[in-house]
Amino acid sequence: MAGNETVAAQRGIDHLVLPARDLGALAAFYEKLGFTLTPQNRHPFGTANRIVQFQGSFLELLGLYDDSLIPASSETAFNFAAFNKDFLEKYGHGFSMLVLESADAKVDRAAYEAVGLHLFDPFHFSRNAKLPDGSVVTVGFNLTFAADPLMRETSFFTCEQWAPELFWKPEFQRHRNTATGVTEVVFVSADPKSHAGFLEGFSGCIHQVIDGGIAIDTPRGLLTVITPDAVYNRFGRAPMGPSPGLAGYLVGVADMGACESCLEENGIAYDCREGLLVLDPATAFGTVLAFQAV
C-alpha cells in the first residue's frame, strides 16, 4: 500500500462502538452526562445497543444479550459479535471499533482493494428500530470491514444505511449537555507513524505530523494517533484499553456551561484542561472522554 496515496472518496466519522459488559449501566452513565439515548435495539447476532445520535454521526453503546446467537467465525468473514465478546472478556469495557461513513459499500470495497487494504466478506443486516413516536421500522446496513495488521484489537469498517431517513431523527439529536457531534477520535500507539498508511487508505485523507504522533483531518472529525505519553500530557489520564488501539474521543458542545452543569448535578468528576472537560477513563467505562466547545 502506498503510504501517501489517497482514494477517490474521503470518509468522515460515522460512529464509535463503545461496548460494556453491563449495557444498562453504560447507558445510565451516558444519560447522566446529558445525552439523549434511543430505546434499546437488538441485532440478530446476539448484541444489543443504545445510540447517542448527532447530525451525521453517533455513539453506539453496545452489549451482549444472547451468546447463543453469535455466529461461528470464519477466516474470511468478520464476526462483529464475537470480536466484541472477546474484547469485553479481556477489557470489560472500552472503545473497540471506529466506523466511517459510506455512500456506497461497493465503491468502498473497490477503493480499498485499489490501495491494498485487507478486507473481509461483505456484510449486510437489518434490525427493528423504535422511532420517537413509538412506531417500529426496519433499518438496514451494508458494512465493509477492513483490518490494520498493526492494530489487531481494534476493528474498522464503513457503514452504508439502506434507509437513512428512518434512522436519523432530530428528536434523538437534542442533548441536555448541548453536544453536537464527535470532533476527534484518539488512538494510542508507541509508533504512531506506522498506522499512517492504513488510516490514509481507510479514510481517503492524508496524515500530518503533530507533536507526539500524527493527525488525519476527515470530512467529519479528526483522527489522531499519539504515544501513551502524549495521551497523558494532553488529557492528564493514561489510556486503559489496548495499545495500539482506540484510547478515547472528544465531543463538541455548543454550551460548555450547560455541559458542566450536567456533570456537576449528576456527580460526574471532571478536570478542566486546556479548554477541555476531561473525564477519568476509570469512570467513563475505560475510555478517555473529553468535551470541547464548538
Using one digit for the tens of pLDDT, what is the confidence trace for 152-172?
Answer: 999 999 999 999 999 999 999
Q: How far apart are CA 195 and CA 151, in angstroms?
A: 8
Mean pLDDT, contiguous 10-residue spans, the chain (294 residues): 52 98 98 98 96 97 97 94 97 98 96 97 93 93 97 97 94 98 98 98 98 98 98 96 97 98 97 96 97 98
Return the pLDDT at 8. 57
pLDDT in tens, 84-112: 999 999 999 999 999 999 999 999 999 99
CATH of domain 13-173: 3.10.180.10
Residue type, 97: M
Written as nine digits, the cell of 246 is: 482506540
Compute, in degrees rounded to 10, the torsion defined by CA atoms 39, 44, 47, 52.
-30
Helix, strand, coil share (%) of the chain residues, nearest 5: 25, 35, 40
Model pLDDT, residue 1: 41
> What cell numbers appear for 28 in the block?
445510565
Q: What is the model's pLDDT at position 4? A: 40
pLDDT confidence of residue 225: 98
Grid coordinates of 107: 465503491
Instruction: Tell me whether domains 13-173 and 179-293 share a fold.
Output: yes
Q: How far apart are CA 41 and CA 264, in angstroms?
A: 30
Q: Which fold has domain 179-293?
A: 2,3-Dihydroxybiphenyl 1,2-Dioxygenase; domain 1 (3.10.180)
Handedness of CA 218, 147, 249, 31 (dihedral sign): positive
| Bridge partners, residue 294, by sequence | none
Q: Which grid coordinates belong to 78?
A: 468478520
Tell me the C-alpha distance between 258 and 264, whole Å. 10
**Residue environment code for 5-30, b if the CB has 16+ CB neighbours within 10 A, otherwise e:** eebebbbbbbbbbbbbeebeebbebb
* CA 84 to each of CA 3, 20, 63, 92, 186: distance values in angstroms, whole numbers, following the listed order: 29, 9, 8, 10, 19
Q: Where are the domains of the chain?
A: 13-173, 179-293
